[in-house]
Amino acid sequence: MKNLAIMVSGRGSNMVNIVEETKKGNIKGRVKVVISNKADAPALEKAKAYGIDTYTVLQSDFSSKSEYDKKVIEILKGYDIDLVVLAGYMKLLTKEFVDAYPNRIVNIHPALLPSFRGLDAQKQAFDFGVKIAGCTVHFVDEGMDTGKIIAQRAVIVDEEDTVESLTEKILKEEHKLYPYVVKLLCEDRVIVEENKIRIKEEDSH
Ligand code: GRF
């Protein structure tokens, strides 16, 4: 069993999905703690309803990004966390944070990276006129959506799609992809090679 931490800033639908899959036993891990950088993130109440410990850590209470992340790392260490799952966490991580959890921090981004990094990725893709959009789960480094890609899922952009309908289509895929990747990580099946990530087959006995 791996100990998971989920970091959020908002709604928390990906968080809820992952918690549900751990409860069903589909993910060999348990969500020990949820940390938010926003006091009013709806995800916090949702996490509490599952009996998960929650923390709000506000940047305004710290003199620098580095001091902020030190506090977050201190909380994570207290729970003996194996994997940090960013789920709508709208804050870049410092090098200290990334180095504290090498290849053990993941994020989901609502676009097919390396296209459309940053905010409003679905709108960026829609406005660009792409015919295929999607989502990406990747390891996190200090950059904005720049870490190594673990897995992606695509959706077709139909003529009648709007930004809203496309966002919804992508979110549906996010809800399948993220628990799947977290499951793989909890089973140590994500192998990091020099330039890419390989997924190990499931043991067949
Ligand atoms: C998702 O679209 C995710 O890809 C992006 O932020 C959104 C978070 O949604 N990083 P939720 O909080 O998981 O509902």
The model's pLDDT over 128-143, given as tens digits with 9 standing for 90+, comes to 999 999 999 999 999 9
Contact 75, 33 (CB under 8 A): yes
pLDDT digits (tens, 9 = 90+) for 68-85: 999 999 999 999 999 999
| Ligand 1 center from residue 205 Cα (angstroms) | 36
Domains of the chain by residue range: 2-199
Residue with CA closest to ligand 1 atom 1: 88
CA distance 84 to 90: 14
Class of domain 2-199: alpha beta
Q: Say how many Å lie between the CA of residue 108 and the centre of ligand 1.
A: 7
Residues 144 and 92: beta-carbon distance below 8 Å: yes
pLDDT value, residue 195: 79
Closest listed residue to residue 34, CA positions, set 42, 26, 173: 42
Q: Which of 6, 13, 150, 172 to mutate to test the pocket of ligand 1 (most atoms within 8 A of CB)?
A: 13
Among protein residues, the one whose CA lies closest to atom 7 of ligand 1: 88
Rounded to an integer, what distance in angstroms lies between the CA atom of residue 147 and that of residue 138? Answer: 6
Nearest CA to ligand 1 atom 14: 13
Nearest ligand 1 atom to the CA of 174 is: 4
Q: Taking residues 165-170, what's their average pLDDT?
A: 98
Question: Which pTM was predicted?
Answer: 0.96
Nearest atom of ligand 1 to the alpha carbon of 17: 13
Strand 132-139, strand 105-109: pairing: antiparallel
Q: Is 48 helix (H, G, I), strand (E, B) or coil?
A: helix
What digits encode the pLDDT tens for the residues 36-51? 999 999 999 999 999 9
Q: Is 205 a catalytic residue?
A: no
